[in-house]
Amino acid sequence: MHVALLQYIRNLSVTPLEHEDVALIKEAFVYKCIRKKEFLLKEGDVCRYIGFIIKGAIRQYTVDKKGNEHMQNLCIENWWTADRESFHNQTPSIYNIDAWEDTELLLLPKANRYYERVNNIPAFREMRIRLDDNNHIATQYRLHSSINHTAEHRYEDLMNRYPEFAQRFPQHIIASYIGITKETLSRIRNQSVRGKL
Amino acid sequence: MHVALLQYIRNLSVTPLEHEDVALIKEAFVYKCIRKKEFLLKEGDVCRYIGFIIKGAIRQYTVDKKGNEHMQNLCIENWWTADRESFHNQTPSIYNIDAWEDTELLLLPKANRYYERVNNIPAFREMRIRLDDNNHIATQYRLHSSINHTAEHRYEDLMNRYPEFAQRFPQHIIASYIGITKETLSRIRNQSVRGKL
DNA sequence: CGCGGGTTTGATGATGCTCAAGCCCGGTGG
DNA sequence: CCACCGGGCTTGAGCATCATCAAACCCGCG
């Protein structure tokens, strides 16, 4: 059940995982299933764990006064999910995190007695550094893109980078993720279809 | 000369710096002054070092086909500057990094023989983790903000968070940083002045 | 004095939002 | 088996925000 996570760590680190590391990870990460629409974190609550997605799809978003949802992040298999600010400072979150598909996760609670020890596993530490690098790069790009590129450009970018998103999430969620309305996305798609004829 | 950096590391870490760590840092980081408008990194070049700003102000930006500059980052004393993607992968950068004021830096070259050892200093490592956390949080917020908030809201946010930017950078640079034109920023400011009468 | 960088102002237009309506389709219950 | 319902997608009209382009202004400096 932890095999996906172990493999993931091995892929992103150079130092191998020792037997004792594997044992520690198996104890520290708790398995959890949530159903579609079930919440992992609600606005106002404190984020108590980091989640690794074994299977499924997760949304992280805010809701404005008018009730509109704004997707901050979309995550599928082999991604991590958490509100890092809330987790790090143990302050109330501004985000909601819920499942878009039935999802299996491995949760690493901050409060458990293994948390520190897991973070001291060399391979795990290396993985985190790699992850931070990748994440930083991707977020910088997204920021740059959201300021400088047109809606159409951003949509094409996303489809190139994560084509599977189109199968897993409906258009109004994709639209929100790239910062436009579902109507605008619909028009963009029809235009570019026409463009290809 | 390295005192600002050493102090910075101590502030962000728990583990103290040993004498030998201090010595290593002094050897690894090379001091450099650059004049206003001088480049630290040019689009197309590979980013070869991470810079810590002792004194001065730095811009990181792209230039589009029309010649317009788009600020990705503004940094002053006690901030780090680099194109992490280019540095990490040693690939050509899409960014320019130049000085807006005469600037003093400490550069940590990737190629030097101390690089790995510096990264193994416990206090330095802790600092990086803290830094990544803070950075991640700030960038997520900026992303959220750039998608969901109005230009006026973003401007006020920036002025609250980094009021000194207004003294250090001209308006057209501030405008670009929050993703609007200088004309729009000018109008926003006049409006809100009128609003306060 | 004149120049260059920065800021302001105005007119015009593009991009994307809002609101409202209708469509499509799969699922549920009568 | 059909009717209806709800979620998602599309289409249209009107509108808000912000970009663009052009001109003028302001001011410190050689």
Mean pLDDT for chain A overall: 94
Q: Is B84 on the interface with A (CB under 8 A)?
A: yes
**What is the three-class DSSP state of B5?**
helix
In the structure, what pLDDT confidence band is assigned to residue A197 with cuts at 50, 70 and 90?
very low
Find out whether A39 and A103 touch, Cβ atoms under 8 Å: no
Q: Which two tokens stand for residue B55?
A: 């004194």
Please give, one letter per residue, the 3-state secondary structure of B16-32: CCCHHHHHHHHHHCEEE
- Which runs of consecutive H residues, i.e. helices, occur in B13-121? 19-28, 84-89, 115-120
Rounded to the nearest angstrom, the gap between the alpha carbon of residue A32 and the centroid of all alpha carbons in its chain is 16
Collect contacts of B11-20 with beta carbons under 8 A, ≥24 apart.
B12/B126, B12/B127, B12/B130, B12/B131, B13/B122, B13/B123, B13/B124, B13/B126, B13/B127, B13/B130, B14/B123, B14/B126, B15/B122, B15/B123, B15/B126, B16/B123, B17/B121, B17/B123
Residue B61, judged by CB atoms within 10 A of its CB (0-12, 13-18, 19+), counts as buried
Q: Which two tokens stand for residue A146?
A: 């959201």
Find out whether B73 and B158 touch, Cβ atoms under 8 Å: no
Torsion of CA A65, A84, B80, B116, to 10 degrees: -160
Q: Which two tokens stand for residue A2?
A: 């932890």
- Residue A194 has a pLDDT of 56
All residues of chain A having their beta carbon less than 8 Å from the beta carbon of residue B141 are 85
Chain segment B107-132, per-residue pLDDT in tens:
999 988 899 999 999 999 999 999 99
Residue to mutate among A63, A147, A148, A181, with most B CBs inside 10 A, is A147
- Cβ–Cβ of A137/B88 closer than 8 Å? yes
- Residue B197 has a pLDDT of 46
Judge whether residue B181 contacts strand D, using its CB and a 7 Å cut-off. yes
Instruction: Note the CATH number of domain B3-148.
Output: 2.60.120.10
For range B127-142, the mean pLDDT: 94
- Residue A114 has a pLDDT of 92
- Residue A193 has a pLDDT of 60
- Residue B192 has a pLDDT of 67
Distance between CA atoms of residues B32 and B51, nearest Å: 9
- Cβ–Cβ of A146/B144 closer than 8 Å? no
Buried b (16+ CB within 10 A) or exposed e, B14-43: eeebeeebeebbbebbeeeebeeeeebbeb
- Cβ–Cβ of A70/B148 closer than 8 Å? yes
Distance between CA atoms of residues B87 and B49, nearest Å: 7
Return the bridge partners of B99, or none: B58
Sign, CA torsion B60/B62/B63/B68: negative
Residue A11 CB neighbour total at 10 angstroms: 10
Chain segment A17-60, per-residue pLDDT in tens:
999 999 999 999 999 999 999 999 999 999 999 999 999 999 99
Give nucleotides in strand C with any atom < 7 A to a protein C-beta: 5-11, 15-20
For range A147-159, the mean pLDDT: 94
Distance between CA atoms of residues A132 and A84, nearest Å: 12
In the structure, what pLDDT confidence band is assigned to residue B195 with cuts at 50, 70 and 90?
low
Chain segment B70-99, per-residue pLDDT in tens:
999 999 999 999 999 999 999 999 999 999
